[in-house]
Amino acid sequence: MSDKTFYVTTPIYYVNAEPHLGTAYTTIAADAIARYRRMTGHDVMFLTGLDEHGQKIAQAAEDNGMSPQEWVDAIAPKFKAAWDMLGVSYDDFIRTTEPRHKKGVQAFWTELYDRGFLYQGNYEGWYCVPDETYWTEEQLEDGKCPQCSRDVQFIKEDNWFFKLSEFQQPLLDFYESHPDFVQPETRRNEVLSFVKGGLRDLSISRTNFTWGVPLPFAEDHVTYVWIDALLNYITALGYGGEDHERFDRYWPADYNFVGKDIIRFHCVIWPAMLLAAGIAPPKSVFAHGFLLTKGEKMSKSKGNAQTPASLVERFGVDAYRYYFMRDVQFGQDGSISMESMVQRYNGDLANDWGNLVSRLLNMTEKYFDGLTPAAPTAEPTDADATLLAIAGVLPEKYEAAMVRLDYVSALEAAWDLIKECNRYIETQAPWTLAKEGDDARLAAVIYNTLEAVRISALFTAPVMPNTSADVWTRLGLGDITAVTDIAAVAEWGQLPAGLRVSKGEPLYPRIYEEA
Ligand code: ME8
């Protein structure tokens, strides 16, 4: 096992409804970096899962005439099926109703209790069930939830509290000494000004319903669902259980990926909880933006959410993944539309990538009986040198983009090579070389383009794993998912001679219909 570890997580999604484009977006982004890190030789742990407790879920179950457990058991497979359909290569899938999680939550409470960070008090204030968030009277806007504008409930309960207010300075010190903790920069500023504004103690238990993890020292209280949920990132690794080998190995996480809607939980409450328990916070919380359709946040509650399945049916899995990673800058809001999806598909995928592979394999079939020619021995021409140079800088450019989670630039770097391949074929015109009987140059041109396509497939693999595996198979190469040193495998000249290539169906048949 590699000693370089990489641990990335998605939020655990509420099981009040089925997965949609927004939740799929975070999950695909996490999948792409997880896949890439496996290709750079990291021992990767990629966690996703479900947030199954709390009032909102209990309510959804009741609305559907089921017990909460029946309800979550009915919805959970839909998430797994959606992620399987989207090629999400998670290493673990946690559900907060699992015994391993409950045990970890209780161990955490015992730790905080022993350390003196919990006390009993009365809570009086407002609560937004859809957001599972407490609000004070002053925070409400026109008497509604300031976040989602929906109705709030007044609650008055005996609760247990976490001394969050004691963590203002420790958090500010932590942000100072860990400048990469909150990403991107704009989010960091938002978090800093929030914490500087002062922190109140946090109610961490509820008594007016039972669908949650009981506090070990007060069994009539169930854990506030957000605390329950945040702990998944460590309970999945065995925190609080007998076997914490995975916890020792992977914690602290490299990234908690979240949407910008939930940064206060992840960048304020979460690190404070961990500091209180004597556990290191994650190295980084990366907050991405919202997918907007016609200028509005797409969400389950607004009813403007589409299912990933409907788009996958139309465009295919890899095109789906490509579109969201290529068209929306990770960290910023991005508008998505059917028009731009069709455009990306036809332009980048059908024309640039799919067409290149088809033409090239056709020519290999036609001119070389479907066998890869040998690497050229003649001096490279200027055109060859340009192609080689672009292939040569790709690993570094790609890595530089991926350490910033800049998927757009990473894909652009891969496309620099794909586009150059197309230019190269046009300018070198293998069909003319064939006509003129210049066999040596023809072999050189075909070899070089095949080699560049082999390399392009490596760097498109994290986002488009199926197509890349397919391209490698068509080239007669082995299993691309077995690559653990992408930079070494991408070194020029490794395509063997005499491999049998196969043409196959077009990778991305053009879409003609109107958006
Ligand atoms: O908040 N654009 O779960 P959730 C982009 N259970 N991403 C979006 C999106 C949009 N329009 N809509 C949703 C929860 N998301 C808690 C999390 S974690 C310890 C507990 C994504 O089902 C985004 O990642 O409401 C957001 O953070 C997440 O879905 C919220 O999912």
Please check whether residues 351 and 457 belong to one and the same domain.
yes
Residue 298 Cβ < 6 Å to ligand 1: yes
One domain, residues 474 and 407: yes
Query: Does residue 207 come out as left (phi exceeding 0), alpha (psi in the -120 to 50 range) or beta?
Result: alpha
DSSP string, 30-91: HHHHHHHHHHTT-EEEEEEEEE--SHHHHHHHHHTTS-HHHHHHHHHHHHHHHHHHTT---S
| 297 and 342 both lie in a single domain | no
Ligand 1 midpoint to CA 437 (Å): 60
Domain ranges, residue 456: 337-489
Angle made by CA atoms 413, 415, 417, in degrees to the nearest 5: 85
Residues whose CB falls within 8 Å of the CB of residue 290, separated by 6 or more in sequence, listed in order? 22, 259, 260, 261, 297, 298, 333, 334
pLDDT (0 to 100) of residue 506:
93
| Separation between Cα atoms, residue 323 and residue 315, nearest integer Å | 10
Q: Report the phi/psi class of residue 303: left, alpha or beta, with left for phi > 0 and alpha for psi in -120 to 50.
A: left
Helix axes 317-327, 407-428, angle to 10 degrees: 110
Out of 148, 261, 263, mutate this one to test ligand 1's pocket (max ligand atoms within 8 Å of CB): namely: 261
Same-domain check for residues 32 and 82: yes
Which residue's CA is minimally distant from atom 8 of ligand 1? 22
Q: Which two tokens stand for residue 501?
A: 């290539």
Q: Which residues contact 417 (CB under 8 A, 6 or more apart)?
A: 390, 391, 394, 452, 455, 456, 459
Q: Is the CB of 323 under 6 A from ligand 1?
A: no
Position 357 in a domain:
yes
User: For residue 330, is it within any domain?
Assistant: no
In this structure, the answer to whether residues 204 and 283 fall within a common structural domain is yes
Q: Report whether the peptide linkage leading into residue 252 is cis, meaning its omega lies within 30 degrees of zero.
A: yes
Q: Are residues 247 and 369 in the same domain?
A: no
d(CA 323, CA 345): 8
How much distance in Å is there from the Cα of 503 to the middle of ligand 1? 41
For residue 40, is it within any domain?
A: yes
- Domain assignment present for residue 317? The answer is no
276 CA to centre of ligand 1 in angstroms: 26
Q: How many CB atoms lie within 10 A of CB 234?
A: 27
What CATH number corresponds to the domain at position 353? 1.10.730.10
Instruction: Read off the tokens for 92.
Output: 């673990």
CA distance 159 to 222: 9
- Give the type of residue at 94: I
Instruction: Count how many Cα atoms sit within 13 Å of the Cα of residue 384 in the half-sphere of its side chain.
Output: 19
* Pocket lining: 455 vs ligand 1, CB cutoff 6 Å: no
Location of structure tokens 């015992």 = 110
> What share of residues in the chain are helix, strand, coil (percent, to 5)?
50, 15, 35
Ligand 1 lined by 235 (C-beta under 6 Å): no
Same domain, 177 and 232: yes
Strands 214-215 and 218-223: what pairing?
antiparallel
Q: How many CB atoms lie within 10 A of CB 316?
A: 19
Strands (E), 278-360: 285-288, 291-293, 296-297, 334-335
CA torsion sign for 74, 77, 81, 82 is positive
Q: What are phi and psi of 57, to 5 degrees?
A: -70, -40
Nearest to 184 by CA among 90, 255, 108: 255
Q: Are residues 243 and 385 in the same domain?
A: no
Q: Which of 23, 31, 75, 332 to mutate to test the pocket of ligand 1 (most atoms within 8 A of CB)?
A: 23
In this structure, are 411 and 280 located in the same domain?
Answer: no
pLDDT at residue 302, as a whole number: 60
Residue by residue, pLDDT tens for the chain (515 residues) are: 788 999 999 999 999 888 999 999 999 999 999 999 999 999 999 999 999 999 999 999 999 999 999 999 999 999 999 999 999 999 999 999 999 999 999 999 999 999 999 999 999 999 999 999 999 999 999 999 999 999 999 999 999 999 999 999 999 999 999 999 999 999 999 999 999 999 999 999 999 999 999 999 999 999 999 999 999 999 999 999 999 999 999 999 999 999 999 999 999 999 999 999 999 999 999 999 999 988 776 555 565 556 899 999 999 999 999 999 999 999 999 999 999 999 999 999 999 999 999 999 999 999 999 999 999 999 999 999 999 999 999 999 999 999 999 999 999 999 999 999 999 999 999 999 999 999 999 999 999 999 999 999 999 999 999 999 999 999 999 999 999 999 999 999 999 999 999 999 999 999 986 55
Q: CB-side exposure of 315: number of CA atoms within 13 Å?
A: 28
Q: What is the rounded distance in angstroms from the CA atom of residue 388 to the CA atom of residue 89?
A: 32
- Give the tokens for residue 22: 């927004």
Instruction: Identify whether the C-beta of residue 316 lies closer than 8 Å to the C-beta of residue 508.
Output: yes
SS3 119: strand
The verdict on 352 and 432 lying in the same domain is yes
CB-ligand 1 contact for 262 (6 Å cutoff): yes
Q: Is residue 445 part of a domain?
A: yes
* pTM of this structure: 0.96
Distance CA 69, CA 64 (A): 12
What residue's CA is closest to ligand 1, atom 7? 22
258 CB near ligand 1 (under 6 Å):
yes
Neighbours of 242 (CB within 10 A): 6
131 in ligand 1 pocket by Cβ < 6 Å?
no
In a domain, 388, yes or no: yes
Q: Write the CATH number for 45.
A: 3.40.50.620
Residue 276, domain member (yes or no): yes
| Both tokens assigned to 154 | 């007044």
Give the count of domains, the chain. 2
Phi first, then psi: what are they for 156, rounded to 5°?
-140, 105
Residues 6 or more apart in contact with residue 253 via CB below 8 angstroms? 7, 8, 9, 233, 282, 283
Whether residue 328 lies inside any domain: the answer is no
User: CB-based contacts of 31: which residues, under 8 Å, 6+ apart?
Assistant: 46, 86, 87, 88, 89, 90, 321
Residues 378 and 462 reside in one and the same domain: yes
**Domain match, 148 and 285 both:** yes
Q: Is 395 touching ligand 1 by the criterion CB < 6 Å?
A: no
